[in-house]
C-alpha cells in the first residue's frame, strides 16, 4: 500500500472541510492531541502507552470523524486490510458453536482491569443480535440472527465470515468492529468457534 | 419518602422494567431516578463536601472558601456550569477537579501529589475529592450550562478534546466516538448518547456526577472519563491531566444551553 498517498489525499479533503477555523491542519491537530495524550495517560497492567499509537487505519478513520471516506481512500484501505487476513493453516474455518456462544457473551479481555492470563471474549452481543434466546443485545452493528440461513452455508460465506471476524476493516473501512484476529484479541481456535456460531446449521443463530 | 422505602420501591420499579423492552433504558432510569426522589444518597457526599470546603485543612490551615472557581473567590453557586474555563492565575484551562487541585495547593499548602491522591472512592476508601465535587456541582443544580470558548486556550482545549474524542486506538480500535458519535445506538440494552449532538450532550453531561447504585459510590465526571477509557482498552487516564480537561471542555461546551441537574442517580 502507498501509505503516503493515502494520508495526503485524505488530508487535503480534511483541511478543506476544516476551513479557516484554525491555522493548524487536521493532521497537525491530531499529532498534537497524541502528544498531549501520551503525557496524560499512564501504563496500567497490560495496557501500555503504545496503545495510543495509531496504524494507518486508525489514523485515517479518526480523521474522518465518523463521516464516510472518499471512495479512493476507502478502496485502498480495504485492500490493504484484506492483505492482512490470515486463514487457518489446516483450512478448517468452523469450530464449536457452543464455545462460540460463550465467547460472544463474554466482554472481558484487554482492559487494564482484566487478568491477561484469562481468555478474552468477543462481546458480540454488546453490538449485535445473534440468537432469539438472548434479548440483551446492542445495536451498534446489524442483527446477525439467521446469519447463514439467509446468506447460505457455502464455503464462500464461511470464508467471508472468517475474514470479517478476523479483520472487519477488510470489508467495511472504518467499521466500528474490532479486528479480532489481526489485533490478537481472539485466538485462531476462538475465531473458528465464533464463525461456527454464525455458520453452523445447528447453531441457535440459524434456528 | 423515607430513604429505605424509596430504595426498595425503586428497585422494584427497576426489576419490573427488565421485562418492558418497548420502553427505552433512558426512560427507565428516569423513572428509577424519580422513584428515589429526594432520597438520592449523593446527598451524603454533598454534605461531606460542604464540610471539607469550609474546614481549615492542610499545612496552611485554610479552608477552600476563598477558592475562585471562575465567578470570583468563594462563589460556589453556578460556578460548575461555566467550567472548564481559562484561569489567568495559572494561565491554564481548568475543569472543576483541576481547579480544586490548584486551590488546595495555593490556599491550603498541600503538594500537588497530596491533592491528586485518592481522586476516586472505593471499597473502604472515601475520596475527599468526590465529596467536594458533589457539593460544588450540586450548587449549580438548575443553572444553564454556559461554558466559554473565546479565549485562545479555551478554543485550543476544545479542538484538542474533539481530536481526542475521535482518536481510535488500542487493540479494539475504539474511540469515544465509536459509541458516542452516532445517533440512537445501544450497547446491550444501554442507550448511548451521541455526544456530538446538542440535545444528547446536554442530557448526558448535565446528569454527571452521579450516585452509581451498582457501585455504592458517587462518581465524578473525571471518573466517568477514566472508566470509559478503561473500557476502550486504553491505558489509564491520569486524574486532572491535560487530555482529561480538553475532553471535558469538548463535552461541556457541546452541552451549553442545557440545564444542569446533578448529582443524579444512575443504575
Domain boundaries, position A66: 45-199
Residue A41 host element (H or E): strand A41-42
- pLDDT, residue B36, reads 66
Residue B230 within a domain: yes
Nearest to residue B239, comparing CAs of B106, B156, B133, B91? B133
pLDDT reading at A1 higher than 50: no
> Mean pLDDT throughout A26-55?
97
Q: Per the structure, how many domains does chain B have?
A: 1
- Note whether B252 and B206 are within 8 A (CB): no
C-alpha cell at B76: 460556589
* Residue scoring higher pLDDT (B152 or B17): B152
Residue A110 host element (H or E): none
* Eight-state DSSP code of residue B260: P
User: Cell match 480537561: residue?
Assistant: B245
pLDDT bucket at B22, cuts 50 / 70 / 90: very low
Residue A180 within a domain: yes
- pLDDT, residue B24, reads 65
Q: How far is B181 from chain A (nearest CA, A)?
A: 7
Domain boundaries, position B259: 42-265
Q: How far apart are CA A74 and CA B168, in angstroms?
A: 17
Residue B180 within a domain: yes
Nearest to residue A100, comparing CAs of A206, A203, A179, A207? A203
pLDDT bucket at B13, cuts 50 / 70 / 90: very low
Contact B188 A136 (CB under 8 A): yes
Pick A41's closest partner by Cβ from B163, B196, B238: B238
Contact A41 B235 (CB under 8 A): yes
Contact B177 A53 (CB under 8 A): no
> Mean pLDDT throughout A57-65?
97
Pair type for strands B210-212 and B264-266: parallel
- Note whether B47 and B134 are within 8 A (CB): no
pLDDT digits (tens, 9 = 90+) for A43-60: 999 999 999 999 999 999
Provide the 10 A C-beta neighbour count for residue A150.
10
- pLDDT, residue B44, reads 95
> Mean pLDDT throughout A100-106?
98
- pLDDT, residue B267, reads 82
Residue A32 within a domain: no
- CATH assignment at residue B79: 1.10.760.10
pTM recorded for the entire structure: 0.89
Exposed/middle/buried for B195, CB within 10 Å: 0-12, 13-18, 19+? buried
pLDDT digits (tens, 9 = 90+) for B67-124: 999 999 999 999 999 999 999 999 999 999 999 999 999 999 999 999 999 999 998 8
Q: Is B228 a catalytic residue?
A: yes
Pick A125's closest partner by Cβ from B155, B188, B244: B188
Contact A52 B167 (CB under 8 A): yes
pLDDT bucket at A22, cuts 50 / 70 / 90: low
> Which among B28, B160, B170, B240 is the top mutation candidate for probing chain A, defined by the most A β-carbons within 10 Å of its own β-carbon?
B170
Detail the DSSP E strand segments found in chain B. 85-87, 92-94, 185-187, 190-192, 210-212, 217-219, 236-237, 264-266
* Residue scoring higher pLDDT (B51 or B30): B51
Annotated ligand binding at B179? The verdict is yes
Q: How far apart are CA A34 and CA B154, in angstroms?
A: 18
- The dihedral region occupied by B99, where left means phi > 0, alpha psi between -120 and 50, and beta the remainder, is alpha
> Which among B155, B173, B200 is the top mutation candidate for probing chain A, defined by the most A β-carbons within 10 Å of its own β-carbon?
B173
pLDDT bucket at B26, cuts 50 / 70 / 90: low
Exposed/middle/buried for B243, CB within 10 Å: 0-12, 13-18, 19+? buried
Residue A1 within a domain: no
Which residues of chain B have a CB within 8 Å of the CB of A179? 173
Q: Tell whether B179 is within 8 A of chain A (Cβ).
A: yes
Which residues of chain B have a CB within 8 Å of the CB of A30? 163, 167
Residue B67 within a domain: yes
Contact B186 A140 (CB under 8 A): yes
Give Cα A41 to chain centroid, integer Å: 23
- CATH assignment at residue A110: 1.10.760.10
Exposed/middle/buried for B136, CB within 10 Å: 0-12, 13-18, 19+? buried
pLDDT reading at B15 higher than 90: no
Annotated ligand binding at B228? The verdict is yes
pLDDT reading at A93 higher than 90: yes
Q: How far is B103 from chain A (nearest CA, A)?
A: 21
pLDDT reading at A75 higher than 60: yes
Residue B28 within a domain: no
Pick B236's closest partner by Cβ from A30, A42, A140: A42
β-bridge partners, A44? A47
Q: How far apart are CA A199 and CA B32, in angstroms?
A: 41
Q: How far apart are CA B40 and CA A194, in angstroms?
A: 43
pLDDT, mean over chain B: 91
Q: Kindly give, in sequence order, each residue whose CB lies less than 8 Å from that of residue A35, ignoring residues fewer than 6 positions away.
A: none
Sign, CA torsion B234/B238/B243/B245: positive
User: Cell match 481530536: residue?
Assistant: B163
Q: What separation in angstroms does the CA of B134 have from each of A109, B49, B139, B220?
A: 32, 6, 9, 8
pLDDT, mean over chain A: 92
What proportion of chain A, given as a percentage, has pLDDT over 90?
88
- pLDDT, residue B191, reads 93
- Note whether A93 and A80 are within 8 A (CB): no
pLDDT bucket at B226, cuts 50 / 70 / 90: very high
Exactly one of B228, B241, B259, B261 is catalytic; name it.
Answer: B228
pLDDT digits (tens, 9 = 90+) for B169-213: 999 999 999 999 999 999 999 999 999 999 999 999 999 999 998
Exposed/middle/buried for A27, CB within 10 Å: 0-12, 13-18, 19+? middle
Contact A183 B171 (CB under 8 A): yes
Q: Per the structure, how many domains does chain A have?
A: 1
pLDDT digits (tens, 9 = 90+) for A113-149: 999 999 999 999 999 999 999 999 999 999 999 999 9
Contact B160 A29 (CB under 8 A): yes
Which residues of chain B have a CB within 8 Å of the CB of A136? 188-189
Contact A36 B160 (CB under 8 A): yes
Pick B188's closest partner by Cβ from A58, A110, A126: A126
Which residues of chain A have a CB within 8 Å of the CB of B166? 62-63, 65-66
Annotated ligand binding at B230? The verdict is no
- pLDDT, residue A21, reads 45
> Count of residues for chain A?
207
CA of A182: which chain B residue's CA is closest?
Answer: B171
Residue A14 within a domain: no
Angle made by CA atoms A73, A74, A78, in degrees to the nearest 5: 120
Q: Tell whether B19 is within 8 A of chain A (Cβ).
A: no
- pLDDT, residue B33, reads 65
Amino acid at each position: 500500500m502507498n501509505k503516503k498517498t493515502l494520508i495526503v489525499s485524505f488530508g487535503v479533503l480534511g483541511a478543506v472541510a476544516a476551513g479557516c477555523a484554525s491555522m493548524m491542519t487536521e493532521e497537525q491537530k491530531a499529532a498534537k492531541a497524541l502528544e498531549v495524550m501520551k503525557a496524560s495517560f499512564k501504563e496500567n497492567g497490560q495496557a501500555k502507552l503504545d496503545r495510543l499509537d495509531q496504524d494507518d487505519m486508525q489514523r485515517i478513520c479518526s480523521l474522518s470523524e465518523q463521516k464516510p471516506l472518499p471512495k479512493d481512500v476507502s478502496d485502498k484501505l480495504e485492500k490493504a486490510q484484506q492483505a492482512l487476513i490470515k486463514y487457518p493453516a489446516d483450512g478448517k474455518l468452523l469450530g464449536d458453536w457452543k464455545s462460540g456462544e460463550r465467547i460472544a457473551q463474554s466482554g472481558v479481555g484487554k482492559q487494564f482491569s482484566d487478568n491477561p492470563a484469562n481468555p478474552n471474549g468477543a462481546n458480540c452481543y454488546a453490538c449485535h443480535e445473534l440468537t432469539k434466546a438472548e434479548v440483551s443485545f446492542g445495536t451498534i452493528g446489524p442483527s446477525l440472527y439467521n446469519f447463514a440461513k439467509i446468506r447460505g452455508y457455502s464455503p464462500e460465506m464461511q470464508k467471508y465470515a472468517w475474514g470479517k471476524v478476523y479483520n472487519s476493516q477488510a470489508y467495511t473501512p472504518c467499521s466500528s468492529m474490532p479486528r479480532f484476529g489481526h489485533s490478537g484479541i481472539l485466538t485462531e481456535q476462538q475465531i473458528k468457534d465464533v464463525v461456527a456460531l454464525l455458520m453452523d446449521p445447528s447453531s441457535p443463530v440459524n434456528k | 419518602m423515607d430513604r429505605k422505602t424509596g430504595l426498595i420501591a425503586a428497585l422494584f420499579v427497576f426489576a419490573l422494567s427488565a421485562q418492558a423492552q418497548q420502553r427505552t433504558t433512558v426512560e427507565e432510569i428516569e423513572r428509577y431516578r424519580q422513584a428515589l426522589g429526594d432520597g438520592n444518597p449523593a446527598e451524603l457526599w454533598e454534605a461531606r463536601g460542604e464540610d471539607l470546603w469550609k474546614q481549615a485543612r492542610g499545612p496552611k490551615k485554610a479552608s477552600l472558601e476563598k477558592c475562585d472557581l471562575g465567578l470570583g473567590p468563594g462563589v460556589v453557586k453556578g460556578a460548575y456550569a461555566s467550567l472548564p474555563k481559562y484561569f489567568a492565575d495559572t494561565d491554564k484551562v481548568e475543569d472543576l477537579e483541576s481547579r480544586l487541585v490548584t486551590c488546595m495547593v495555593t490556599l491550603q499548602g498541600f503538594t500537588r501529589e497530596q491533592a491528586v491522591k485518592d481522586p476516586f472512592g472505593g471499597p473502604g476508601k472515601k475520596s475527599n475529592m468526590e465529596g467536594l465535587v458533589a457539593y460544588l456541582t450540586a450548587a449549580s443544580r438548575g443553572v444553564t450550562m454556559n461554558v466559554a470558548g473565546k479565549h485562545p486556550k479555551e478554543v485550543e482545549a476544545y479542538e484538542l478534546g474533539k481530536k481526542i474524542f475521535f482518536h481510535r486506538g488500542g487493540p479494539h480500535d475504539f474511540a469515544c466516538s465509536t459509541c458516542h458519535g452516532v445517533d440512537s445506538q445501544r450497547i446491550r440494552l444501554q442507550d448511548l448518547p451521541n455526544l456530538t449532538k446538542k440535545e444528547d450532550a446536554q442530557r448526558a453531561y448535565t446528569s454527571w456526577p452521579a450516585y452509581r447504585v451498582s457501585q455504592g459510590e458517587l462518581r465524578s465526571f473525571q471518573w466517568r472519563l477514566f472508566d470509559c477509557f478503561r473500557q476502550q482498552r486504553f491505558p489509564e487516564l491520569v486524574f486532572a491531566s491535560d487530555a482529561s480537561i480538553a475532553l471535558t471542555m469538548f463535552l461541556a461546551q457541546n452541552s451549553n444551553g442545557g440545564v444542569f441537574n446533578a448529582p443524579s442517580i444512575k443504575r
